[in-house]
């Protein structure tokens, strides 16, 4: 049930896979691509060091505007199977954060549910207002609702959530069940933020809710997947999640 569970899965650029149900390959405790250790910190969330395995291939090498991504990296895609287990907790309900605990201006991405809204995603990325400087780093976001993707949200139902980013065009897109929900170019300078140590966070693991959501799978690529590739990933994994 890992990356080879279905032959249609897109593998080009795939750098990291967390698979909660892949017990035969230790998908809860091992990145299925690099073999790096995933730590189940508690019963409901997991972490992996930023510099472990292949994660360094999806972010830039320096924390200043004007820096560029590592050779071979052209962007990033984060694909997540996640469901709400209840309505909003009244705050930002985190799903995946790269780097855990960092301020909004010091992380590559924060993906979760918008504050006080059950059926809206918040997806933020860092940018640099000044070329060649790390000062004044800030963040911007794209925040689709399920209605924006032509869907009606149902608590307790899994959805395929996909964030894509292109280094050259700075284009960001967010899909829900392979339907485009929001897009917009990342402002400022530099490629995706280097988290500079720390851990990547995955919430709601091992069938135990974190902030009223459960995550079953996280796949990370070092390039932007096209709309058709996002659709391929969704359709090649959806039978596991009731579709």
pLDDT of residue 1: 41
pLDDT of residue 60: 66
pLDDT of residue 168: 85
Q: Which residues of the chain have pLDDT under 50?
A: 1-7
Q: Give the pTM.
A: 0.93
Domain 14-241: give its CATH code: 2.60.120.200
pLDDT of residue 129: 85
Three-class secondary structure assignment of the chain: CCCCCCCCCCCCCEEEEEECCCCCCCCCCECCCCCCECEECCCCEEEEECCCCCHHHHCCCCCCCCCCCCCCCCEEEEEEEEEECCCCCCCCEEEEEECCCCCHHHCCEEEEECCCCCCEEEEEEEEECCCCCCCCCEEEEECCECHHHCCCCCCCCEEEEEEEEECCCCEEEEEECCEEEEEEECCCECCCCCCCCCEEEEECCCCCCECCEEEEEEEEECCCCCHHHHHHHHHHHHHHHCC
| Sequence ranges of the domains in the chain | 14-241
């Amino acid at each position: 049930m890992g990356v080879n569970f279905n032959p249609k899965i897109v593998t080009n650029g795939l750098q990291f896979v967390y698979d909660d149900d892949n017990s035969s390959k230790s998908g809860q405790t091992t990145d299925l691509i690099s073999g790096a250790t995933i730590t189940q910190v508690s019963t409901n969330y997991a972490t992996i060091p930023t510099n472990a395995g292949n994660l360094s291939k999806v972010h830039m090498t320096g924390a200043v505007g004007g820096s560029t991504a590592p050779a071979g990296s052209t962007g990033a895609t984060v694909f997540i199977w996640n469901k709400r287990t209840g309505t909003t907790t009244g705050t930002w309900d985190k799903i995946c954060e790269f780097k855990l605990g960092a301020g909004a201006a010091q992380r590559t991405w924060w993906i979760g549910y918008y504050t006080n809204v059950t059926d809206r995603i918040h997806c933020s990325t860092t940018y640099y207002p000044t070329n060649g400087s790390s000062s004044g780093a800030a963040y911007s976001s794209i925040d689709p609702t399920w209605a924006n993707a032509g869907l009606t949200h149902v608590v307790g139902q899994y959805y395929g959530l996909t964030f894509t980013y292109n280094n050259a065009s700075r284009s960001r897109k967010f899909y829900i069940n392979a339907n485009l929900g929001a897009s917009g170019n990342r402002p400022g300078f530099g490629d995706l933020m280097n988290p500079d140590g720390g851990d990547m966070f995955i919430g709601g693991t091992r069938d135990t809710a974190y902030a009223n959501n459960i995550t079953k799978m996280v796949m990370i690529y070092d390039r932007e997947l096209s709309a058709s590739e996002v659709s391929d990933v969704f359709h090649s994994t959806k039978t596991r999640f009731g579709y």
